[in-house]
Amino acid sequence: MQRGTFQLMKSVNKSIILNKIRTAEPISRAQIAKETSLTPPTVSSIVKELMEQGLVRESVLGHSSGGRKPTMLHIDTDAFYVIGVDAGPENVVCVLTDLTGTILERKSRVLKNPLTNEQFLSELKDAINALLQTSEADQEKIIGIGVAMHGVVDVHTGTSLVAPILNLRNIPIKEVLEQHFNVTVKVENDARAMALGESWFGGHGDADSMVAVNIGRGVGAGIVMNGKLYHGAQGIAGEFGHMAVDINGEVCECGNRGCLQTFISGTAIAKRAKSRLKEQDGTLTGKDVFELAESGRQDCVDLLQETGHIMGVGLTNLIHVLNPSEIVLGGGVMKSEKFLMPAAIAAIQQKVLTPEARKTHVTVSRLGDEATVLGAIALLLVELFDPVAQIG
């Protein structure tokens, strides 16, 4: 689909009606008018236009207490498609979904460091092209590409300002991909994309404030407040991993000392394990530590429980600063949930200031490895369905 076509599909009233149908389908025109305060003629006119665009379809007649039965409306989920990209730092994952976020096709490729900006962009283009080549979906129905990128992102220009683990700066992702594929491209920090994915697809109901924390090769967070993804004044809100917890600690990849990331990331867990488990070789990973703990190695169990306690200290700070109703944890490290979570929850219960704050719901993502790439999909869907909740 051409970039301009997607822009024409969007308007506030259209999106209000689309989102109402998405969240309440099947629903009648009369009910939409009642629940949105739009006039019945406005609803009928916009629904007609949405049906002509292929976004909405009618179903069999609904129930009526008398008189003519209403025709019910649904989102036509196969009308259009979205591409989502989880870009780095270790691999690129691309998916094609319908308008419900159902994954129809997937491709992935490993990133081999060191990379230049041009090589990284070439990897993105090659991964997306591979996805398109194997998909049977009508490519004219693709409304855009969402990219979840690690590090600091300028969401307005779609530029990766700092990708610390890849050691890259100022990558013009949006500009290059829009020029190459001629569709709308949205770029976001991976942890914030994960938060949006959780908000849209994670089954969290009407949580009005939520923080999603991504703990893997790095550590980051995304903040959803009143349905909006929060960026902060200079766009670095959610850099949870760079909260200083030990001013005399080791140097982080960001250059500061004692960041939380140097304690709870997968790399940090492996590093601590290598220094303690003398018989292990230099290839030990965070995943290996989990598997050793699973096999009954008490020293690995102890290390993961210690990590969970430190994680709980960080989450307590998060509760004190933001006081969210829910915190969702994801990323590869959380595969060690059974060892980490009891210690993390105990630390929160011990250290949080008030009894009410102890009730903060802290849980592990049910979306698992899909949360971030589904968040990349949601970058496009929020534009289409919910412009009032524009990312701020």
* Segment 192-196 mean pLDDT: 90
- Give the start-to-end residue ranges of the domains of the chain: 3-64+71-75, 81-196+372-389, 205-365
The predicted structure's pLDDT at residue 65: 58
The predicted structure's pLDDT at residue 207: 64
Q: Helix, strand, or coil here: 82?
A: strand
State yes or no: pLDDT of 5 exceeds 70. no
Pairing of strands 159-163, 152-154: antiparallel
Percent pLDDT > 90 in the chain is 58
- For residues 100-135, one letter each, b for 16 or more C-beta atoms within 10 angstroms of the residue's C-beta and e for the rest, the string is ebeeebbbeeebeeebebeebbebbeebbeebbeeb
CATH for 81-196+372-389 (1.20.120.1200, 3.30.420.40, 3.40.50.2300, 2.60.40.10): 3.30.420.40
State yes or no: pLDDT of 392 exceeds 50. no
Q: Which element (helix H / strand E) includes 196?
A: helix 190-201
pLDDT in tens, 61-80: 656 555 666 789 998 888 88
The mean-pLDDT minimum among 22-31, 145-154, 202-211 falls in 202-211
State yes or no: pLDDT of 1 exceeds 80. no
The predicted structure's pLDDT at residue 133: 92
Global pTM reads 0.81
The predicted structure's pLDDT at residue 388: 52
Dist. CA 7–CA 212, nearest whole Å: 29
Whether 205-365 and 3-64+71-75 are alike in CATH topology: the answer is no
**Banded model confidence at residue 10, pLDDT cuts 50, 70, 90:** low
Dist. CA 280–CA 263, nearest whole Å: 20
The predicted structure's pLDDT at residue 105: 93
Pairing of strands 326-330, 209-215: parallel
Q: Is the peptide bond before 164 cis (omega within 30 degrees of 0)?
A: no
Q: Show Cβ contacts of residue 26 under 8 Å, excluding neighbours closer than 6 positions.
A: 59, 62, 72, 73, 74
Q: Which element (helix H / strand E) includes 43?
A: helix 40-52
Q: How far is CA 127 from the centre of its chain?
A: 19
State yes or no: pLDDT of 202 exceeds 60. yes
State yes or no: pLDDT of 318 exceeds 90. yes
State yes or no: pLDDT of 352 exceeds 90. yes
The predicted structure's pLDDT at residue 344: 97
Rounded to the nearest integer, the mean pLDDT of the chain is: 88
Pairing of strands 184-189, 168-171: unpaired
pLDDT in tens, 94-130: 999 998 889 999 999 998 888 999 999 999 999 999 9
The predicted structure's pLDDT at residue 63: 60
Q: Show Cβ contacts of residue 269 under 8 Å, excluding neighbours closer than 6 positions.
A: 286, 289, 303, 304, 307, 333
Pairing of strands 142-149, 184-189: parallel
State yes or no: pLDDT of 365 exceeds 50. yes
What phi-psi label fits residue 110: left (phi over 0), alpha (psi between -120 and 50 degrees) or beta?
beta
State yes or no: pLDDT of 340 exceeds 80. yes
The architecture in CATH of the region 3-64+71-75 reads Orthogonal Bundle (1.10)
Is domain 205-365 annotated with CATH 3.30.420.40?
Answer: yes
**Banded model confidence at residue 391, pLDDT cuts 50, 70, 90:** very low
The mean-pLDDT minimum among 162-166, 264-268, 339-343 falls in 162-166
State yes or no: pLDDT of 255 exceeds 80. yes
Q: Show Cβ contacts of residue 316 under 8 Å, excluding neighbours closer than 6 positions.
A: 347, 348, 351, 352
The predicted structure's pLDDT at residue 61: 67
The predicted structure's pLDDT at residue 341: 97
